[in-house]
Amino acid sequence: MHLSSPTPFPHNRPRRLRRDAFTRNLVRENRLSAHDFIYPVFVHEGSARSEAVPSMPGVDRLSLDLLLPVAEQCAQLEIPFLALFPAIDPTLKTPDGKEALNPDGLIPRVVRALKQEFPQLGVMTDVALDPYTSHGQDGILDASGYIINDETVEVLVGQALAHAAAGVDMVAPSDMMDGRIGAIREALEAHGHIHTRIMAYSAKYASAFYGPFRDAVGTRGALGKADKNVYQMDPANTDEALREVALDLAEGADMVMVKPGMPYLDVVRRVKDEFGVPTFAYQVSGEYAMLKAASANGWLDHDQVMMESLLAFKRAGADGILTYFALDAARKLRG
């Protein structure tokens, strides 16, 4: 039977397969699991320090000692990966973001501690300069304020090597500089880090949905009214996303990502259909904040929209989702 000529009613009654829960469970096409989640967390210096992110209810910046119990929860819930994002001391931020290269900086120290305490938990790090630059951009600026590509890539390579030396399982370049995946892969190989995975932010759009994230890592004020349109992708384009993915795979990426998530599910589907590689999507801070705000106002059912939104990623073809809902969703799935 072809979809264009189905058996007509009444011989075919699709509602028969929706009549009861056990039949719906039997024929369900997509399923969520805790194994689908990567949990993004924000880390800062100090001890016993927890700072709420007002634009992301339920999300806090944590010092390492408070992050360790969160990592333990992830391990217990069988969430496979944590993704680390730093909130750097403003006094360490410089125009060239050189603190990103510090082998004893915040992120390398957190990586070492997490891998020592929870070797069974995957750790992923962001490779980008915006948390470290005084201007909030993802790269080095020239005299006109334009982000210089090749010089930025050199710094990103050093940052990735520092994370790999600390024992990270996966680096995730989110900067959208040209050629950075190939440069990082070559450097990792040259330094013996042959097992370090690369998840490329291949289709990262210049989106307005990132605002709360910039609050969390402390870059909104530095960035001001500037934008990232000269390196992040135009939200109007999807063919371009396929070209970006193809380039990153050719340069050595193990996995690719589409960011943001729900507004770009069509891109997720195109990438998965075209390449058939491990494809991830990031349910970004703005998506999370919207659902939280609507739920807090009683306009939406929190748990239902949380689970429905995550299932949408799987339906679109994503193999996994970076989501701030990871802990809550994993608990919900455990029942």
Rg (CA), the chain: 21
Interacting residues of 259 by C-beta distance below 8 A, sequence separation 6+ = 174, 201, 203, 204, 205, 207, 281, 282, 284
Query: Nearest-CA neighbor of 128 among 165, 104, 103, 163?
Result: 163
Q: Partners of 98 in the beta sheet?
A: none
SS (H, E, C) 225-271: CCCCCCCCECCCCCHHHHHHHHHHHHHCCCEEEEECCHHHHHHHHHH
241-245 CB contacts, 8 Å cutoff, 24+ apart:
241/202, 241/203, 241/267, 241/270, 241/271, 242/270, 242/271, 242/274, 244/202, 244/203, 245/200, 245/202, 245/203, 245/271, 245/274, 245/275
| Residues marked as catalytic | 204, 259
Kindly tell me the sign of the dihedral angle through the C-alpha atoms of 135, 140, 145, 148. negative
Q: What is the largest CA-CA distance in the chain?
A: 72
Only one residue has tokens 């699991």, namely 33
Q: Are 175 and 139 in contact (CB under 8 A)?
A: yes
Tell how strand 170-173 and strand 197-204 pair up.
Answer: parallel
Read off the tokens for 157.
């390579």
Only one residue has tokens 């790090």, namely 125
Assess whether the previous peptide bond of 80 is cis (omega < 30° from 0). no
Q: Are 102 and 58 in contact (CB under 8 A)?
A: no
Read off the tokens for 240.
């371009």
